[in-house]
Structure formats: C-alpha cells, structure tokens
Structure 1
Amino acid sequence: MFNLAVFVGLPLFLLNLFYGRCELREIPADYEPRFWEYENQPIKQLKMKYGYGSMQRKHEKCMAFGHQSAKNYFWRIKEERIHHLMFERQDYKAWYYIPYQAKWNNLSHQLAEKTIFNRDPIHMVRQSNE
C-alpha cells in the first residue's frame, strides 16, 4: 500500500512543486487558448486534456444524441401508423400479407362444411385397401 502511495503521490508532489498553480498573463491577440488551458492547476489540465475532453464537445454530442433520438421517435410513430392503416385497409402487400391459392380456400370451405353439418367427418372417412 505504501508503494502505491509513493508512486502516485511523488509525481503529484513534484508536479505541484515545480509548476505550482497556473497564473494568468497576457497572450497574443491571435492566440486562442485550448480548452484545458483554462484550468488553474496542472493536474486538472492533464485530466481535462487526456481524460475528460472538451465540455463544448460533450455538450454538442449530447445535443446530437437528443436530436437523433427525437427523429427516431418521430419516424417510429409514423411507421406504426402506416402499418396500422395498411393492415386495417388491406390495400398493400406488407409483412402481414400471406398469399394463397383459391383451391386451398375452396378445399378448406368444403372440409368445414363436412365437419359442421356432420355429414362426412374427416376422421370417419374410410380408406379402401382394394
């Protein structure tokens, strides 16, 4: 545990000893400071430069994420409405449309009539072995 304290504490101590707190001074008119240069301690500058990143960039990423989420929500609602109307009106072949042939429809109606009226139930049909 002591070794860890030495390895972490010694560089911090030396950094603060030799560099100390940053001070304001005049800069040229055409120079624009980087975002980490606004911090007043060298350790905080290192954290901002290599760790956290620019606050402006974070804000822009957050705003872009919110904008994209709003667009996705809008289009998801539109798509649900379109699928609902297509299903309701049955006027377009979409994911719920199942094509079939008329002969299968007729066969199912015949089988349904036989079982409903109990004239010739399907399970009672004899098969001839002749």
Structure 2
Amino acid sequence: MAEHLEVREAAVPVAPPQGEGTALDGSEPLRAPVAVPAARAQKRIGRAAAGERWIVRILQGGALISGGMFLASLVLEVLPQSQDVAVSIDTLRKGAASLLLMTPVARLAVAGTMLGLRGEWRYALYAVGILGMLAFAVSSGMHA
C-alpha cells in the first residue's frame, strides 16, 4: 500500500536584519501587532465567572437547604406521633421537594439575566420564554 503524504510549506515569520525596521518596499516601518486591550477581556471573563459563581451558589444553596429540611423531617419521625408532629413532617417534606424543584428555575432566571448583561440577547430571550412557559403551565394547572 502506498501512502500519500501531502507536504505543505509553512509560513515562517522572518525578522528583518538588525538595523532594518522597514517594510520590504521601504515605505513604512514594521510594527508589532496590536493586542486586544487586556482590561476589557479580563472584565468580560470576570463577569462570566461571577455569573457562574452565582449559579453554583443557587444550586448548592437549594440542594443544601432542601436536604436540611428533609433531614429535619426525618429527625421529627423520632418524636412521639401527634397531630402537630405529623403536620410539621408533612410541611417540611413538601417544602423540601418544592425548593428542590424551584432551584433549577432560579438557576435559569440567573443565567438568563447574566446572558442579557453580557449582550447575548437570543439566549436571554430563550430563558425568558422558558420561564414564561413554566409560569403559564403552573398558573393554568392550579385551580383556586
């Protein structure tokens, strides 16, 4: 089997000889490429990292608080059964489940806000649309 190898020439930058700082035709001096302002890039990266930290805090906080509520309901199981204890256990478990379900919704709201602040309007509108559909679904499913 014959292997075909393709050989390409790579463009190698060549520095001008010492003392010659002009273009090849001699009309204009050579200049180093201008870098993008680092402060602006750092600010954008800092905002993105701050948004991600908020999302992490929301997810961790929701999970920890709902887990704590569920553990508290398990601790109440040890107490002698009465009407008040049963209502407390039921309330804690329903609250823990609701908080656990609402945590991703809060994450979506924060992510949509952060995307809007970064100027990514299409994804921010997606987040708003999803939140609107969730609100419509919840409001149409609940009868007073």
Shared fold (TM-score, shorter chain, > 0.5):
no
Larger-Rg structure? 1
Higher relative contact order (CA closer than 8 Å, sequence separation 6+): 2
TM-score by length of 2: 0.26
TM-score by length of 1: 0.28
